[in-house]
């Protein structure tokens, strides 16, 4: 069965493929599903944004669709960057990049003692009949004082979990303990009923 991931983010698609392929799901990006348009994320929460994305893509392709909205919440920064995690360093029309986002976060965390943070993942799955299912998972950690590790993407080099950054943890282990990994595990536990 095909599942459309409401994203073109190569790293995200790769993660979903690694997790869903053993169960005989063919994971395709929204581009591969001919739904390559930007969905405006107007929600105020990760859950709302995931549902907005899934619904827009489902309406276009009429196939089972899985969307996620995820990001980093830093407690000392009033849970910023939050739903703006991907575009945190956007400025004067210049697009944000992982590198610029990490530099901005490090700057904002200079001399901050409370470094507690969490990654949040909201998944929204819409089955072939249009029924909507939502999942929310988190993983707690803290923000490093410098970039650590070569793997991962986004804020992974700054997010410390059990004394290692997510960019220092092998992908197969990260997929088990991460916010997205936990959300997908819950999705997989329910998928037979939901599909």
Kindly state the average pLDDT of the residues 113-131.
97
Using DSSP, state whether 129 is helix, strand or coil: coil
Q: Residue 174 pLDDT more than 80? A: yes
Q: Are strands 2-5 and 26-29 parallel, antiparallel or unpaired?
A: parallel
Burial of 44 (0-12, 13-18, 19+ CB in 10 A): exposed
Name, in order, each residue with C-beta under 8 angstroms of 31's C-beta and a sequence gap of 6 or more: 8
pLDDT bracket for residue 133 (50, 70, 90): very high
Tens digit of pLDDT for each residue in 29-77? 999 999 989 899 899 999 999 999 999 999 999 999 999 999 999 999 9
- As a whole number, the mean pLDDT across the chain is 93
195 in Cβ contact with 128 (< 8 Å): yes
The catalytic residue among 69, 92, 156, 193 is 69
Is 193 in the active site?
no
Q: What is the CA radius of gyration of the chain?
A: 17
Tens digit of pLDDT for each residue in 28-40? 999 999 998 989 9
Domains and CATH numbers, the chain: 2-194 (3.90.950.10)
Name, in order, each residue with C-beta under 8 angstroms of 192's C-beta and a sequence gap of 6 or more: none
179 in Cβ contact with 141 (< 8 Å): no
């Amino acid at each position: 069965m095909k599942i459309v991931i409401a994203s073109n983010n190569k790293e995200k698609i790769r993660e979903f493929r690694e997790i869903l392929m053993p169960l005989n799901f063919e994971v395709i990006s929204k581009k591969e599903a001919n739904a390559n348009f930007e969905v405006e994320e107007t929600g105020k929460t990760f859950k709302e944004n995931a549902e907005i994305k899934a619904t827009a893509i489902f309406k276009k392709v009429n196939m089972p669709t899985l969307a996620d909205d995820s990001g980093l919440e830093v407690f000392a920064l009033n849970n910023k960057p939050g739903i703006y995690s991907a575009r945190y360093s956007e400025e004067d029309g210049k697009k944000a990049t992982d590198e610029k986002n990490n530099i901005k976060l490090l700057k904002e965390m200079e001399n901050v003692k409370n470094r507690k943070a969490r990654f949040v993942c909201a998944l929204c799955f819409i089955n072939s009949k249009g029924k909507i299912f939502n999942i929310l998972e988190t993983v707690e950690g803290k923000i490093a004082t410098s970039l650590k590790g070569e793997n991962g993407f986004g804020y992974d080099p700054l997010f410390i979990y059990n004394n290692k950054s997510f960019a220092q943890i092998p992908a197969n282990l990260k997929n088990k303990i991460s916010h997205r990994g936990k959300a997908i595990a819950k999705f997989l536990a329910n998928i037979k009923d939901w599909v």
